[in-house]
């Protein structure tokens, strides 16, 4: 039986409709202009996004995954090194690390924020058998909230680690008033369509204030070229095209107001779900959470999900499997019960619908349905 009311998890076409005349014009201009890759639209967008992230340089690439991989390479990570991240992230964080030839090491998360627990990082670094191999840490600003950057940067400084921030889910978020992406050696953004700033296809960007890293990234993304027909390093084909740059430029003007709307809707959820059966997300002191995802916890997550689905409410789980349980990463050799907070999160987290175009009425309906769950 189809429920009388439907609340989709996300509605990307609604956002397109709200921008349609300007968007169609921007796309048409690129098509008529006849220049499609590495052009002035991409350069302008790189400058604008770097500026909004508090960084000096932006380097557009094919995806968030490529942004992470190329950023790690530009920071000097190579085969045989070790790179640390968390096991509750989206799998591409780990794909990108593995693609550099480095070994992935996991540390557990803080249960309140779902982000890297600096105490676990400190513990790992103290016990590392071959500390000279540990080259970088990738804190993931998961769901739209910054990881605890101050203690992470302190540890990275003490142990000589590069810091490559995974900003894929958190463009526009801040930690103690400073935008994410500006803390580490690099910040890595994804423009996957569902992200806070989403393209109409794949796209990504690395932001950095280090001129040397920026130059290496510009070469890496374009076959290792320093200039036309002068190849100075091994390279890739990973460029943000002019169509996506034009699309993203139209959307960038709205990012701040969209993120503010996400925050308002999240507050409404918080209020309507107070004292319900679920634990609502916590914004850590000093953080500006942008709620790429609104993630609650429930000890009966799967039953709750079914209950909401019967009422026409689409939800999602980010993510149901900790990465050390994934077949592709079993060879890392972690026991199943390692990283208990990450494992518990994968059993309990549930993402409710949240996007700027979602109506308040829909949020009321989701919360009322959730409160009727027995
Ligand atoms: C945390 C995180 N890191 C990295 C990525 C990779 O981004 P992309 O899909 O653009 O390659 C994503 C998005 O899927 C993500 O959510």
- CATH code at position 153: 3.40.640.10
Does residue 345 sit in the same domain as residue 276? yes
**Residue 159 C-alpha to ligand 1 middle, in angstroms?**
27
* Per-residue pLDDT, 107: 98
Residue 63 Cβ < 6 Å to ligand 1: yes
Q: What is the mean predicted confidence (pLDDT) over 346-371? A: 98
Asked if residue 189 is part of any domain, the answer here is yes
Q: Convert 28-61 to b/e letters by CB count within 10 Å (16 or more is b).
A: eebeeeeeeebbebbeebbeebbebbbbebbbbb
Does residue 245 sit in the same domain as residue 337? no
Does residue 39 sit in the same domain as residue 73? yes
Does residue 190 sit in the same domain as residue 266? no
Sign for the CA dihedral angle at 326, 331, 337, 342 comes to: negative
**Residue 275 C-alpha to ligand 1 middle, in angstroms?**
33
* Per-residue pLDDT, 354: 98
**Residue 192 C-alpha to ligand 1 middle, in angstroms?**
7
Most ligand 1 atoms within 8 A of CB, residue of 92, 173, 186 to mutate: 92
How would residue 2 be classed by pLDDT, with cut points 50, 70 and 90?
confident
**Residue 374 C-alpha to ligand 1 middle, in angstroms?**
35
Sign for the CA dihedral angle at 76, 79, 80, 83 comes to: positive
**Residue 169 C-alpha to ligand 1 middle, in angstroms?**
7
**Residues 123-156 pLDDT 10s:** 999 999 999 999 999 999 999 999 999 999 999 9
* Per-residue pLDDT, 27: 98
Q: Which residues constitute the domain of residue 341?
A: 254-371
- In terms of Cα–Cα distance, which of 328, 313, 329 is closest to 361? 313
Residue 140 Cβ < 6 Å to ligand 1: yes
How would residue 265 be classed by pLDDT, with cut points 50, 70 and 90?
very high
pLDDT at position 237 over 80: yes
Does residue 328 sit in the same domain as residue 312? yes
pLDDT at position 357 over 90: yes
Does residue 169 sit in the same domain as residue 279? no
Residue 169 Cβ < 6 Å to ligand 1: yes
């Amino acid at each position: 039986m189809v429920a009388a009311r439907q609340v989709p998890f996300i509605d990307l076409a609604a956002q397109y409709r709200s921008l349609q005349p300007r968007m169609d014009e921007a796309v048409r201009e690129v098509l008529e202009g006849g220049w499609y890759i590495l052009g002035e639209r991409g350069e302008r967008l790189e400058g604008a996004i770097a500026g909004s992230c508090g960084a000096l340089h932006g380097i557009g690439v094919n995806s968030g995954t490529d942004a992470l991989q190329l950023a790690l390479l530009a920071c000097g990570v190579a085969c045989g090194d070790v790179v640390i991240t968390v096991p509750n992230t989206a799998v591409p964080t780990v794909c990108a690390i593995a693609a550099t030839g480095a070994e992935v090491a996991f540390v557990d998360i803080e249960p309140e924020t779902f982000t890297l627990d600096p105490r676990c990082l400190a513990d790992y670094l103290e016990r590392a058998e071959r500390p000279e191999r540990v080259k970088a840490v990738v804190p993931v600003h998961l769901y739209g909230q910054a990881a605890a950057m101050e203690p992470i940067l302190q540890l990275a400084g003490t142990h000589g680690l590069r810091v490559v921030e995974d900003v894929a889910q958190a463009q526009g978020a801040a930690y103690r008033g400073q935008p994410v992406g500006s803390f580490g050696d690099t910040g890595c953004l994804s423009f996957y369509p569902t992200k806070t700033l989403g393209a109409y296809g794949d796209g990504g960007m690395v932001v950095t204030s280090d001129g040397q890293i920026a130059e290496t990234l510009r070469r890496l993304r374009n076959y290792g070229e320093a200039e036309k027909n002068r190849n100075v390093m091994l390279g890739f084909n990973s460029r943000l095209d002019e169509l996506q740059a034009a699309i993203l430029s139209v959307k960038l003007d709205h990012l701040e107001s969209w993120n503010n709307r996400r925050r308002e809707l999240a507050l409404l959820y918080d209020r309507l779900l107070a004292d319900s059966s679920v634990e609502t997300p916590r914004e850590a002191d000093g953080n500006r959470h942008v709620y790429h995802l609104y993630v609650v916890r429930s000890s009966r997550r799967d039953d709750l999900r079914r209950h909401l689905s019967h009422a026409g409410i689409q939800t999602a789980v980010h993510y149901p499997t900790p990465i050390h349980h994934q077949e592709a990463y079993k060879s890392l050799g972690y026991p199943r019960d390692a990283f208990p907070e990450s494992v518990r999160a994968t059993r309990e987290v549930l993402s409710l619908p949240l996007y700027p175009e979602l109506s308040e009425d829909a949020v009321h309906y989701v919360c009322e349905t959730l409160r009727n769950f027995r």
